[in-house]
Amino acid sequence: MLRERIQASNYSFLDKLRSIDYLLILLILAIGLISVFAIYSTEGGKFSFYTKNHIIRLSLFFSLFLVLSFVRVSTWYKNAYLFYIVGLVLLITVLFFGISASGATRWINLYFLNLQPSELMKIAVIICFARYYHRIQASDIQSIKFLIQPIILLIIPCYLVIQQPDLGTSILIAGSGIAIIWLAGLNIKYFIYSGLLLLVSLPFAISILKPYQKSRILTFFNPDRDPLGAGYQIIQSKIAIGSGGFFGKGYLKGTQSYLEFLPEKHTDFIFTLFSEEFGFLGSIILLFLYILLIYRIINVGLVSRSFFAKLYCFGFATAIFLYVFVNIAMVLGMLPIVGAPLPIMSYGGSSLLSIMLGLSIVMSCKIYNQEQISVY
Amino acid sequence: MLNRGRNIEKGRVITRRMFILAAAKILLFAGISSRLYNLQISDREKYEILSDKNRIREWKTPPQRGIIVDNFNKVLASNDRVFQLHLILDEINDFDVTIFKIKNIIGLDKSQVQKLYKKKERLKPWDTLVVSDNLTWEQFSKINLYLHELEGAKPVLSTSRFYPYANDLVHIVGYVGDVSPKDLEKPEIKENFVPGLKVGKYGIENSQEKMLIGNYGIKRYEVNASGKRISQIDYIKERQGNKVNLTIDIEIQKYAQELLKGKAGSICAMDIFTGEVVAMASSPTYDPNKFTHGINQKDWQEIRNNPLKPLINKSIAGLYSPGSTFKPLVALAALEYGILNPNKTIRCKGHKHPYELYGVKYHCWKKEGHGYMKLRNAIKQSCDIYFYEMARLLGVDKLSIIAKRYGLGTNVLGDLYNDEKNGLVPDTKWKRRALEQSWYLGETVINGIGQGYIQTTPLQLCLMTAQIANGGYKIKPHIIKDEAINYKDVINKIKLDQSNFPLHERNYLDDINIENYQRMYHKKSNINFVLDAMFGSTNEQYGTSYKSRYDDPKYQFAGKTGTSQVRRITDLDRELDLDTEQIEYKKRDHALYVAFAPYKDPRYAISVIIEHGGSGSKAAAPLASKLIKRIIDRHKLREQFNNGNTSLA
C-alpha cells in the first residue's frame, strides 16, 4: 500500500482530491472574499474599476492555483533553477524596458497586466533555495563553499530590486532567502555575526539610500517631523485605525478613507481601511485568518517527506508571515513605510499572482506529500 | 545507512528551526495585536478626536442682532429681510467666468468687481464670498433665473439692520457697519466673529454690543481631504441678541427732532425723578440706514461737509457756555452759603454805568438797565449786574462745588457714548493745574452769568434743571430702561422727604459725595426760592420767557433763558446793537432755555439749545414750550405703561 503510494505516478485522481487541504482553500477564499469587500469599500461603495479588476484577477489566479496544484512537486523541483533564472531575466528586463510610475521602475507591460517581476522573485528565491538545500548534505551546510553560492543568488535579485528602487520588496526577498538558510540549519553564530555586521554598517547603508527612503525612515522615528509630507501617511493611518475602536465605524463608513485622507488605501493601506471599518475585533479576526493560513502551510511541510517540500513550505510560510507582519506593522507605525502589500488583500496583480503561485506549490506538496525527490 | 541517518538528522534540524521561527512569528504577531489594542482601545478617544478634526469643518452663521425698542416697545432698530448673493468658493471651477456672468446679470461696475477679487484673496478656499449683501428684488430674481449657469452661487435670504425712524434716532441708537480690526479688540465681538457680521459703530448699537450681538450658529459639514463639503451633519442654530429697551419716547423724540429741523442744536428731556431720558434730539441729523451696507462716497461727503456738523451728537458732545441758564444755580449756591440776603438790592444802571472791578467794565445785556433789583427779580429778568456782584461775593470755588453737585462738569450717561464730553466747571485749583495760572476775580464775575471757562453739554443742563426741579435730589440719568429699581418708591420717597432742616450729620456746604436719590441741598427754602424765581421768569410780566408761557396749570412750566456768547462783545457791537439776523451766522449767540413742567408737581425737565439762534427767549423758549405740551400730554400714557399696563402698546 505504502509502496504503491511512494510511486507518485500511481496516484489516482481520487487520491489527489482526497489529499487536497480543503481548509487551506477555505482560508484563501475567506481572505479573498474579505479583500473584495475591502476594495469595494475603498471605492466608496461603488462597483467600479478596482473592485471589478480585483474580482477578475482573484478568480483567474485562484483557478490557476487549483490547476497548478496538480503539478507534481518533482516538476517544481526540477524547474526550480529555471524559475529563478526566468525571474532574474525579467528583473533585468525591467532595468532596461520597465515602465515607471511615481519615480520607480518596477513593471513590465504585458498588455493584460503590468507584471512586477520582483513579486515573482519572492517565490523564485524560496523555491530555488529549497532545491539548493534539498541536495546539500547536513555536514556540508556549515562550509563556506556552500554558503557563498546562496548568498550570491540572494544578492543579485536584491540589488536589482533596490535599483528600481523598491526597498520593501528587496527586504522581503532577502528575508525569505535568509529564512531558508536558517531552516537548513546554518550555524546560529553566522546569523549573530552578520546581524552585528549589519548594525555596524547601518550608518553607511543609510547614506546610500535614496533621499525619499531616508526621509521615510527618519519619518518613521518621528512622524510629526513633517505631518503634511512624509509623515502624513503614518499619521493618517494611525488616526484611521485608532478611531475605529473595538467594533469599527461600520462597513462603508470609514470616514478617513471615504473622505480620501488615506493614501494608497487599496494597496499598501488596505488593512488601515479594514481596521477603521471593522475595528479591533475585525482586525484580530483577519490576523487570525492569516495565522491559520501560515499554520496550514507549515502543516503541509510537516507531513511532507522530501526536504524540498519541507523547506519550501516552511520558507513560504515564513515569507507570508513576513509580508503580513511588515505590512501591518508599517500601517500601525511600528515600521517605516517601505511599500509592502498585504497578501491577497491588497489590490495588485503581480502580488496576487505570486502568492497564488506560491500557494499552488504548497498544495502540490500536500497532494504529492509522499513523493520522494531524488538528488541529482 | 549513514546517509539515511544524516537525512533524519537534517529533517530534525529543519523541523526544530521551523519551530523556533514559529515561536518568533507568534511573538511578533502578539506585538502587532498589542499595538492594535493600544491604538483602537486604549487611545481610541484621542484618535477619534483627531479623525473628527480631519473630517468635520465648521461654518459659522451670523446671528440676528437684538432689537432696540423705545419706552412703549416701539421698535427703533429691527432686522429686515434682505436679498444677498453668496459664492461658495470651493464649488467654483473658474472664478473669473463665474464673476463675469454675475457681473452681467446684476450689473456690477469695474470697481465693484475689483473689490470682489480683493475680498476673495483674503478668504480661505472653502469660505463664502459675499458678492452683495443687499440686492434689489429685480437683481435677486434675475440671479435665481440664471442660477443653473452659476456654479457655487447661492442666493440667500438674510437679515440686516433697519432703522424705521432713520434720522430721528441716529444720535441715540447709532448705526452698524462691517467689523474693523479695532472692533475685534472687543472680546464680545472677537468671540462672536463671523464673516459678514455687522457690529455697532456708534451709540447704543456700539455700547450695548454685548447685549445685542447674540451668538453665531454653527453648521458642521463633513469634508474630504481637499476640504470639499460632503454633507451637513450638525446645525446649532444661532441665538438672536437680547432686546434693548430704551427710555426714549419715540413720539416726543420725533417731535423734538421736527422742532429742530433746519437748525443746529439739541433738545433734551428727562424725568426729574427717575432720570429717564425721554428725548435727546440733536440737529442736523443723518440716515443710519445708509451705513448698514457701507455708505457711498457722495452721501458720506455730504454728511461730513455739512457746516452744521450732523455727525456731532450735540446733546452730549456739544459744549456750550450755559449763559444765563446757569443763574438759578449761582443764586442757589449764594443762598446755600448764606452769602447774601435775597432782599439785598442792587441797581442795574444800563450800559452807561456798567459794573466795574479793578478798572474792567462788565455790562448787563439790557442796554437801558434793570434798575433796582432784588434776587428774585434778578433771576426773573436775568439781570447780569446782580449776578456779577453775587458771584464776586460767593467766589468761584464755592460755586463750583454746587455746580458739580447738580451735574455739571461730569459725564452724564457713563460709557454709553464714546464721544460724550465732560464739560468744565472751573475753580482756582483747576486753573492752576490745567493752565498753570492763578485765578482772577474778573473770571469769577463772568462765571456768575455762565460765561468764561465754564462749558456744559445740553444734557448736563437738563440734569441740572431736573435736580433743582425735583427739590434738590440726586438722580441717575439713563437712557436704557433700568428694571432693577422700583421708581414708584423712589418718587414717593423723594416727595415725602422734602424736609427744610439742615442735617447735623452731614455738612451740605462741603464738597461731599451724595448717593443717588438723596438730598443735595442744605436748606430746602433755598431750592424753593430758586424754583419760584424761575416761575416768575416764565409766568410773570417782564420775565424773560413770559411770551412762551401757558396759563393752563396742567401745562404751566417754569424756566430760565440763556444767551451764550460765542465771542467777546466789543464796545462797537454795543453801539451797533444789531438784530440777530443782521449778524453773520457763525458770530450769532447760542440760544438756550431750560425748564421744568408742570410747575405744580413737576415731573419733566427740558433743555433746548439752538446754535447761533440769537436770544434764548426768542429762539429756544418757544420750542421748549411746544415740546413741554407734547410731553405732558403723553405723561399719563407713559405712567400707565410703565406701571405695567402694557395693553396701550
Q: Do A280 and B6 touch (CB under 8 A)?
A: no
Per-position b or e across B28-39, b if 16+ CB within 10 A of its CB: bbeebbebbeeb
DSSP state of B215: B
pLDDT one-digit tens code per residue, B76-112? 999 888 888 888 887 787 888 888 888 888 888 888 8
Q: Do A238 and B47 touch (CB under 8 A)?
A: yes
Element housing B188 (H / E)? helix B187-191
Q: How many CB contacts within 8 angstroms connect chain A with chain B?
A: 132
Q: Which residues of A touch B48 (CB under 8 A)?
A: 242-243, 245
- Whether residue B281 sits in one domain with residue B397: yes
Does the structure show a pLDDT above 60 at A195?
yes
Higher pLDDT, B194 or A65: A65
Residue B596 domain-assigned (yes or no): yes
Is residue B246 a contact partner of residue B92, using CB atoms and an 8 Å limit? Answer: no
Q: Do A291 and B43 touch (CB under 8 A)?
A: no
Pick from A139, A239, A277, A321 the residue to mutate for testing the B interface (most B CBs within 10 Å): A239
CA B343 to centroid of chain Cα atoms: 45
Predicted confidence at residue B74, as pLDDT, reads 92
Q: Do B54 and A255 touch (CB under 8 A)?
A: yes
Predicted confidence at residue B598, as pLDDT, reads 92
Residue B52 domain-assigned (yes or no): no
Q: Do A241 and B47 touch (CB under 8 A)?
A: yes
Predicted confidence at residue A321, as pLDDT, reads 96
By Cβ distance, the residue of A236, A245, A334 closest to B35 is A334
Residue B28 domain-assigned (yes or no): no
Does the structure show a pLDDT above 70 at A227?
no
Predicted confidence at residue A3, as pLDDT, reads 44
Average pLDDT, chain A: 87
- Whether residue B270 sits in one domain with residue B125: no
- Whether residue B422 sits in one domain with residue B302: yes
Question: Is the omega angle on the peptide bond into residue A165 within 30 degrees of 0, that is, cis?
Answer: yes
Written as nine digits, the cell of A61 is 489566479
- Using pLDDT thresholds of 50, 70 and 90, give the confidence band for residue A5: very low
Predicted confidence at residue B227, as pLDDT, reads 63
Does the structure show a pLDDT above 70 at A40?
yes
Q: Which of A122-136, A251-265, B8-22 has the lowest mean pLDDT?
A: A251-265
- Whether residue B357 sits in one domain with residue B222: no
Pick from B4, B7, B9, B18 the residue to mutate for testing the A interface (most A CBs within 10 Å): B18
pLDDT one-digit tens code per residue, B28-57? 999 999 999 999 999 888 888 888 877 777
Predicted confidence at residue B26, as pLDDT, reads 95
Rounded to a whole number of angstroms, the distance from the CA of A96 to the nearest CA of chain B is 38
> Distance (Å, rounded) from C-alpha A233 to C-alpha A111?
31
- Whether residue B414 sits in one domain with residue B374: yes
> Distance (Å, rounded) from C-alpha B205 to C-alpha B212?
7
Is residue B364 a contact partner of residue B350, using CB atoms and an 8 Å limit? Answer: yes
Count of other CB atoms within 10 angstroms of residue B184: 12
Does the structure show a pLDDT above 50 at A50?
yes
- Whether residue B264 sits in one domain with residue B215: no
Predicted confidence at residue B106, as pLDDT, reads 86
Q: Number of helices (H) and strands (E), helices first, in chain B?
A: 25, 19
- Reduced 3-state DSSP string for B20-59: HHHHHHHHHHHHHHHHHHHHHHHCHHHHHHHHHHHHEEEE
Mean pLDDT (whole number) for A142-153: 90
DSSP-assigned states of every residue in A320-368: HHHHHHHHHHHHTTSS-----PPTTTS--HHHHHHHHHHHHHHHHHHHT
Mean pLDDT (whole number) for A190-194: 91
By Cβ distance, the residue of A259, A287, A302 closest to B222 is A259
DSSP state of B611: T
DSSP state of B337: T
Element housing B72 (H / E)? none
Give the residue from B84, B64, B66, B62 showing the smallest Cα distance to B75. Answer: B66
Q: Do A182 and B17 touch (CB under 8 A)?
A: yes
Does the structure show a pLDDT above 60 at A2?
no
Does the structure show a pLDDT above 60 at A81?
yes
Predicted confidence at residue A10, as pLDDT, reads 64
Does the structure show a pLDDT above 50 at A92?
yes
Highest mean pLDDT among A27-31, B356-360, B433-437, B498-502: A27-31
Predicted confidence at residue A339, as pLDDT, reads 79
By Cβ distance, the residue of B17, B36, B224 closest to A260 is B224
- Whether residue B179 sits in one domain with residue B290: no
Predicted confidence at residue B174, as pLDDT, reads 93
Q: Which residues of B touch A126 (CB under 8 A)?
A: none
Written as nine digits, the cell of A292 is 491559520
- Whether residue B512 sits in one domain with residue B482: yes
Q: Do B39 and A139 touch (CB under 8 A)?
A: no
From B218, B245, B272, the end of a domain falls on B245
- Whether residue B605 sits in one domain with residue B564: yes
Q: Which residues of B touch A334 (CB under 8 A)?
A: 31-32, 35
Number of domains in chain B: 2
pLDDT one-digit tens code per residue, B156-202? 777 788 999 988 999 999 999 888 888 888 888 888 887 778 899 99
Count of other CB atoms within 10 angstroms of residue B92: 19
- Whether residue B321 sits in one domain with residue B336: yes
- Whether residue B133 sits in one domain with residue B120: yes
Residue B311 domain-assigned (yes or no): yes
Angle at B278 between CA B276 and CA B282, to 5 degrees: 120
Does the structure show a pLDDT above 50 at B646?
no
For B229, the closest chain A residue by CA position comes to A259
CA atoms within 13 A on the CB side of A21: 31
From B210, B227, B245, the end of a domain falls on B245
Domain of B455: which CATH number? Answer: 3.40.710.10
Rounded to a whole number of angstroms, the distance from the CA of B233 to the nearest CA of chain A is 13
pLDDT one-digit tens code per residue, B600-636? 899 999 999 999 998 888 899 999 999 999 999 999 9
Average pLDDT, chain B: 88
Rounded to a whole number of angstroms, the distance from the CA of B223 to the nearest CA of chain A is 7
Predicted confidence at residue B647, as pLDDT, reads 43
B91: exposed, middle or buried (C-beta count within 10 Å: 0-12, 13-18, 19+)?
middle
From B210, B245, B280, the end of a domain falls on B245
Predicted confidence at residue B595, as pLDDT, reads 95
Amino acid, single-letter form, for residue B604:
Y
Q: Which residues of A touch B223 (CB under 8 A)?
A: 259
- Percent of chain A clearing pLDDT 90 (strictly above): 53
Mean pLDDT (whole number) for B512-533: 90
Predicted confidence at residue A1, as pLDDT, reads 39
Give the residue numbers spanning the domain of B632.
250-648
By Cβ distance, the residue of B33, B51, B224 closest to A284 is B33
For A313, the closest chain B residue by CA position comes to B18
Residue B18 domain-assigned (yes or no): no
- Percent of chain B clearing pLDDT 90 (strictly above): 50
Predicted confidence at residue B207, as pLDDT, reads 92
Q: Which residue's entry shows cell 470616514?
A: A255
ipTM of this complex: 0.91
Written as nine digits, the cell of B303 is 454728511
Q: Do A318 and B21 touch (CB under 8 A)?
A: yes
Residue B15 domain-assigned (yes or no): no
By Cβ distance, the residue of B21, B54, B223 closest to A182 is B21
- The size of chain B, in residues, is 649
DSSP-assigned states of every residue in B370-415: -EEE-HHHHHHTT-HHHHHHHHHHH-HHHHHHHHHHTTTTS-SSTT
- Using pLDDT thresholds of 50, 70 and 90, give the confidence band for residue A204: confident
Rounded to a whole number of angstroms, the distance from the CA of A183 to the nearest CA of chain B is 5
Predicted confidence at residue A336, as pLDDT, reads 83
Q: What's the Cα-to-Cα distance from A134 to each of A75, A77, B261, rounded to whole Å?
A: 14, 9, 115
Pick from A243, A278, A324, A325 the residue to mutate for testing the B interface (most B CBs within 10 Å): A243
- Whether residue B373 sits in one domain with residue B406: yes
Kindly give, in sequence order, each residue whose CB lies less than 8 Å from that of residue A235, ignoring residues fewer than 6 positions away: A223, A224, A227
Predicted confidence at residue B649, as pLDDT, reads 37
- Percent of chain B clearing pLDDT 70 (strictly above): 96
> Distance (Å, rounded) from C-alpha B19 to C-alpha A314?
10
Domain of B233: which CATH number? Answer: 3.90.1310.10
Rounded to a whole number of angstroms, the distance from the CA of A90 to the nearest CA of chain B is 31
Q: Do A314 and B14 touch (CB under 8 A)?
A: yes
pLDDT one-digit tens code per residue, B414-456? 889 989 999 999 999 999 999 999 999 999 999 999 999 999 9
- Using pLDDT thresholds of 50, 70 and 90, give the confidence band for residue B567: confident
Q: What's the Cα-to-Cα distance from A340 to each of A160, A171, A315, B162, B616, rounded to whole Å?
A: 17, 10, 18, 65, 97
pLDDT one-digit tens code per residue, A239-281? 889 999 999 988 888 877 766 677 778 888 999 999 999 999 9
- Using pLDDT thresholds of 50, 70 and 90, give the confidence band for residue B120: confident
Q: What's the Cα-to-Cα distance from B245 to each of A256, A313, A329, B164, rounded to whole Å?
A: 51, 88, 66, 16
Q: What's the Cα-to-Cα distance from A225 to each of A218, A235, A331, B194, B273, rounded to whole Å?
A: 8, 11, 17, 34, 71
Predicted confidence at residue A205, as pLDDT, reads 77
B621: exposed, middle or buried (C-beta count within 10 Å: 0-12, 13-18, 19+)?
buried
